[in-house]
Amino acid sequence: MYCEECKQRPATVHLTQMYNGKKVEIHLCEACAAQKGAFMFDVASNFSIPNLLGSLFGSNFNLPEVQTQLPGRVCPNCGMSLNDIMNTGRLGCSECYTAFEKELEPTLRRVHGNSEHVGKVPARGGEKVMVKKKIEHLKQQLQQAVAAENYEKAAEIRDTIKDTEKKLG
Amino acid sequence: MKADNLLNSNFVRWMAADEGPESDIVISSRIRLARNLNLIPFPQILDRESGKKSLQTIEEAWSKSTTPDLKEMELLTFDRLTALERKMLVEKHLISPGHAESDESFRGVLTNQDGSLVIMINEEDHLRIQCFLPGLQLEECYRQAQQIDDDLEQHLNFAFDERRGYLTSCPTNVGTGMRASVMLHLPAIAISGQINQIFHNIAQLGMTVRGIYGEGTEVIGNFFQLSNQVTLGQTEEDIINNLTGITKRIIEQERLLRERLREDMKYQLEDRVGRAYGILSSARVMNSNEAMALLSDVRLGVDLGILAKITAFALNELVVAIRPAHLQKKVGKEMDAFHRDIERAEVIKERLAATREH
Ligand SMILES: [Zn+2]
Ligand SMILES: [Zn+2]
């Protein structure tokens, strides 16, 4: 197997990366791996800077533009402004995520990629999420049943979906 | 007070090397889950009054808990611990240095007796549920931490968002809120000069490596902490499997290089180990960096059978016992750096002599 990057030297470094729960395999020669690795490591070492958020905002935003929007815009729950968040590198409360959703987006994308949560869901406050996930799952089953022309089962699943959707209110 | 053990002895559970798989290379495993109370301001902007409320809410949930591991814990608030005692918890790796700086009554820890389960309260997040075990045991750490999390969430409204997952004070932790890490001893990889290349490969996999015990980023004693960087878009199982897999590959490489060292550089290796042991068992003044470097050589010697009769447990314990707060606790007074260096040499000599007698 040849290196996927230079396609000249044999691939001796085999990496498995997880993206949204999917495995992606990469095969590289040592030279290319070192080069790629060095680049990635530079990015990673930025993470350790204490005011991470501030620096990330800085590189993702046209600062003057953001600052003109700043006055008066604070989180309705905790009173933190975007300026406060940039200075401390920390959010003020759970509601800050909603209040500054747009401004946080590039930071989250840079740190975590373009991802959504797929892990554990709390039993409390997570009921709706669980119900939604169940409905999604049922809809997949419904499609399969229809594809298999199993209409009796499809009708059954459709009823279950209706019942489940009532729980969402 | 049962948790007194943590302040009056050196022992914490992760030191028990004979209980941990791969403990010749993996010193310990840790899982940390960040959780926050919905709508209550995150700890760094809490004033004393809302801080008390946050602690009260957590205490109430704790009092209703049914999981034995959680029920048996003890609450230590930081107004009841001296600065030295809080530093001892840092030196045992149970809490962060930032957390130890506070003497507020609304900050503290919920901890069990042997320090395997420790919840930091009102640190950067309202709750940081941590499990520490010896060797490579990330799955077991997660199982135990999750049990605590499951019980607490019966009684607490955690800040959670469908898309973002668990909401945390720093956006680098959102999603699972989980940080998994292993502490590794990699002397052969370090001697062979491959450490940078391995760092590069690891970084590419969304993991970070940092040295431990250094002031800042300096790596001392060939100890490295490997953790996941990404917390969003992966399940807890993915993160643990991924980190465990990478750790196993590093273990293979370290073992291979240790074997090669033993074959190709037998005399140099035995000389290095013997000298380290000689200095440790007869020096009178020893600073922390030198001690860590020599202890790393001795540990390698023990792992390769060059030195017998020193257990990995004794070495794990020493690494904590020679740190400033533990030295000062032992002597019972504050000491300047020079006097700590004298006491450090003494503690090392005592411990090595004790293991020889067995
Ligand atoms: Zn290549
Ligand atoms: Zn807020």
B194 touches chain A (CB under 8 A): no
Whether the CB of B245 is below 8 Å from some CB of chain A: the reply is: yes
If residue B227 lies in a helix (H) or strand (E), which one and from where to where?
strand B223-228
Least confident of A65-69, B14-18, B163-167, B237-241: A65-69
Residues above pLDDT 70, as percent of chain B: 96
pLDDT digits (tens, 9 = 90+) for B284-329: 999 988 999 999 999 999 999 999 888 999 999 999 999 999 999 9
Report residue B98 as tokens: 């930032």
Domain with CATH 3.30.590.10 in chain B: 3-256
Residue B292: per-residue pLDDT: 92
Asked if residue B215 has pLDDT above 70, the reply is no
pLDDT of residue A50: 30
Q: Which residue has the higher pLDDT, A87 or B135?
A: B135
Q: Beta B207-211 vs B178-185: how paired, if at all? A: unpaired
Burial zone of B48 (CB within 10 Å; 0-12 exposed, 13-18 middle, 19+ buried): exposed
Domain with residues B3-256, CATH architecture: 2-Layer Sandwich (3.30)
Q: Look at residue B86 and tell me whether its pLDDT is greater than 80.
A: yes
* pLDDT score, position A27: 75
Structure confidence at residue A34 (pLDDT): 60
**Residue B127 to residue B151: CA distance in whole angstroms:** 13
Q: Judged by CB atoms within 8 Å, which residues 49-88 of A form the interface with B?
A: 52-53, 77-78, 80, 88
If you measure from the C-alpha of residue A34 to the centroid of ligand 1, how many angstroms do you get, rounded to a whole number? Answer: 9
Higher pLDDT, A29 or B50: B50
Higher pLDDT, B213 or A36: A36
Asked if A149 and A130 touch (Cβ cutoff 8 Å), the reply is: no
Q: Which of B160, B171, B236 sits opposite A126 (nearest CB)?
A: B160
User: Which ligand is nearest to the Cα of residue A80, counting in written order?
Assistant: 2
Q: Please name the helix (run of DSSP H) or strand (run of DSSP E) that holds residue B268, with its range, or none.
A: helix B266-282
| Residue B95, pLDDT score | 95
Interval B241-250 mean pLDDT = 94
For residue A54, pLDDT over 60 is answered with: no
CB pair distance less than 8 Å for A90 and B170: yes
* pLDDT at residue A97, as a whole number: 94
pLDDT at A52: 37
Instruction: State the ipTM, two decimals.
Output: 0.86
Interface test with chain B among A25, A28, A91, A94, by most B beta carbons within 10 Å: A94
Minimum mean pLDDT range among A24-38, B12-26, B158-172, B296-310: A24-38
Cα(A47) to ligand 2 centroid in Å equals 23
Cβ proximity of B234 and A120 under 8 Å: no
Q: How far apart are CA A153 and CA A146, in angstroms?
A: 8
CA–CA dist B161, B174 (Å, integer) = 10
Rounded Cα distance, A93 and B284, in Å: 52
pLDDT for A15 equals 61
pLDDT at A108 over 80: yes
Q: Which of A101-110, A122-131, A136-145, B70-79 has the highest mean pLDDT?
A: B70-79
Return the pLDDT at A37: 45
Q: How high is the mean pLDDT of chain B? A: 92
Chain A contact present for B210, CB below 8 A: yes
Beta-carbon separation of A78 and B41 below 8 A: yes
Residues on chain A touching B205 (C-beta within 8 angstroms): 15-17
pLDDT at A46 over 50: no
Position A113 scores a pLDDT of 83
Contact A29, A3 (CB under 8 A): yes
B113 burial level (CB within 10 Å; 0-12, 13-18, 19+): middle
Q: For chain A, what are the domain ranges? A: 1-38, 45-118, 126-168
Residues 108-167 in A contacting B (C-alpha not used; CB under 8 Å): 108, 111-113, 115-126, 128-129, 132
